[in-house]
Structure 1
Amino acid sequence: MYRGKIFVLFSTVICLAICLDGLDAGIVRAADFPVTLTDATGKHITMKQAPERIVSMIPSNTEILFALGLNASIVGVTDYCDFPKEAKRKPKIGDLMTFSLERIIGAKPDLVLATKENPGEVIRGLIELGITVFVLNPQTVTGVFEATTTVGRLTGRNSEADVLVNDFQYRLKQVSERLDTIPDDKRVSIFIGNPKFPSQWSPGPGTFTSDIIAHAGGRNIAGDITSGTWGVYSLEQIVSKDPNVILATSDGNHMETVAREILSAAAGMAGWRDLSAIKRKRVYVVTGDWIMRPGPRVILGVEQVARMLYPEFFVEE
Structure 2
Amino acid sequence: MRRSTLTLVTLLLVVAAPLAGATTVGAASAQADSCTFPYSATDATGTEVTVDSDPERVVTLSPSAAQTMWELGASDEVVGVSQYAAYLDGADEKANVSGGGGPSVERVLAANPDLVLVPNSTYGFARDRVEQIRAQGVPVFVFGAGTSLSFVADKTEQIGRLTGNCEAGRESAAEIRTSVDQMREVLADEEKPVGLNYFYGYTSGANTFIGDVMTTGGLRNGAAEANITGFAQVNTETVVEMNPEYVVVPSGASVPSTAAWNSTTAVQEGNVVAVNENYLQQPAPRSVDAAETIMQAVHPEAFEEYRAMQTQSNATATAAETEMATTTGDAPETTAQATTTVAVDDTPAASQTATGTSTPGFGVLLTFVSLLATALLATRR
Pair in the same fold by TM > 0.5:
yes
8 A contact 2:202–2:231 mirrored in 1: no
Structure 2: gaps spanning 5 or more residues: 8-31, 309-381
For 1:104 and 1:245, the matched residues in 2 are separated by 42
Find 2:143's aligned residue among 128, 136, 141. 136
User: 1:54 and 2:61 equivalent?
Assistant: no
Q: What is the TM-score with the length of structure 2 in the denominator?
A: 0.67
Deviating above 4 A after TM superposition, structure 1's stretches of 4 or more consecutive aligned residues are 10-13, 28-31
Residue identity matched to 2:54: A
Find 1:175's aligned residue among 162, 179, 183. 183
> Alpha-carbon deviation of 1:294?
0.8
> Alpha-carbon deviation of 1:60?
0.4
For 2:156 and 2:37, the matched residues in 1 are separated by 18
> Alpha-carbon deviation of 1:250?
0.6
1:245-300 superposed Cα distances (whole Å, 9 cap, x missing partner): 1222215xxxxxx98xx7xx85xx42333222233332221112211111110111
8 A contact 1:190–1:244 mirrored in 2: yes
For 1:243 and 1:31, the matched residues in 2 are separated by 47
For 2:89 and 2:231, the matched residues in 1 are separated by 30
Distance 1:286 1:90, change over 3 A: same
User: In angstroms, what is the RMSD of aligned CA positions?
Assistant: 2.6
For 1:60 and 1:164, the matched residues in 2 are separated by 14
Match of 2:219 in 1: 218
SS of the aligned residue for 1:281 comes to: coil
For 1:57 and 1:221, the matched residues in 2 are separated by 32
Match of 1:209 in 2: 210
Distance 1:228 1:153, change over 3 A: same
Match of 2:89 in 1: 85
For 2:119 and 2:263, the matched residues in 1 are separated by 41
Distance 1:45 1:8, change over 3 A: closer
Q: What is the TM-score with the length of structure 1 in the denominator?
A: 0.79
8 A contact 1:58–1:96 mirrored in 2: no
8 A contact 1:78–1:96 mirrored in 2: no
Match of 2:158 in 1: 150
8 A contact 2:42–2:49 mirrored in 1: yes
> Alpha-carbon deviation of 1:97?
4.3
1:116-166 superposed Cα distances (whole Å, 9 cap, x missing partner): 211110111111111110112333211111111111111111111122111
For 1:235 and 1:96, the matched residues in 2 are separated by 34
8 A contact 2:35–2:166 mirrored in 1: no
> Alpha-carbon deviation of 1:12?
8.4
Find 1:74's aligned residue among 78, 94, 99. 78
User: 1:297 and 2:293 equivalent?
Assistant: no
> Alpha-carbon deviation of 1:240?
1.1
Number of equivalent positions: 277
Percent identity (aligned): 26
Distance 1:41 1:301, change over 3 A: same
Match of 1:230 in 2: 232
Match of 2:295 in 1: 306
> Alpha-carbon deviation of 1:103?
1.2
8 A contact 1:76–1:92 mirrored in 2: yes
8 A contact 1:148–1:165 mirrored in 2: yes
SS of the aligned residue for 1:213 comes to: helix
8 A contact 1:33–1:49 mirrored in 2: yes
Structure 1: gaps spanning 5 or more residues: 1-6, 14-27, 252-257
Match of 2:339 in 1: none
8 A contact 1:189–1:220 mirrored in 2: yes
Residue identity matched to 1:228: G
Question: Which one scores higher on RCO, CA 8 angstroms, separation ≥ 6?
Answer: 2
For 2:83 and 2:304, the matched residues in 1 are separated by 39
8 A contact 1:203–1:225 mirrored in 2: no
For 2:37 and 2:136, the matched residues in 1 are separated by 23
Find 2:275's aligned residue among 286, 291, 311. 286
For 1:95 and 1:250, the matched residues in 2 are separated by 25
Distance 1:211 1:95, change over 3 A: farther
8 A contact 1:249–1:287 mirrored in 2: yes
1:190-223 superposed Cα distances (whole Å, 9 cap, x missing partner): 12227xxxx5321222122112112222112223
SS of the aligned residue for 1:9 comes to: coil
User: 1:193 and 2:195 equivalent?
Assistant: no
Find 1:39's aligned residue among 27, 43, 66. 43
For 1:302 and 1:168, the matched residues in 2 are separated by 11
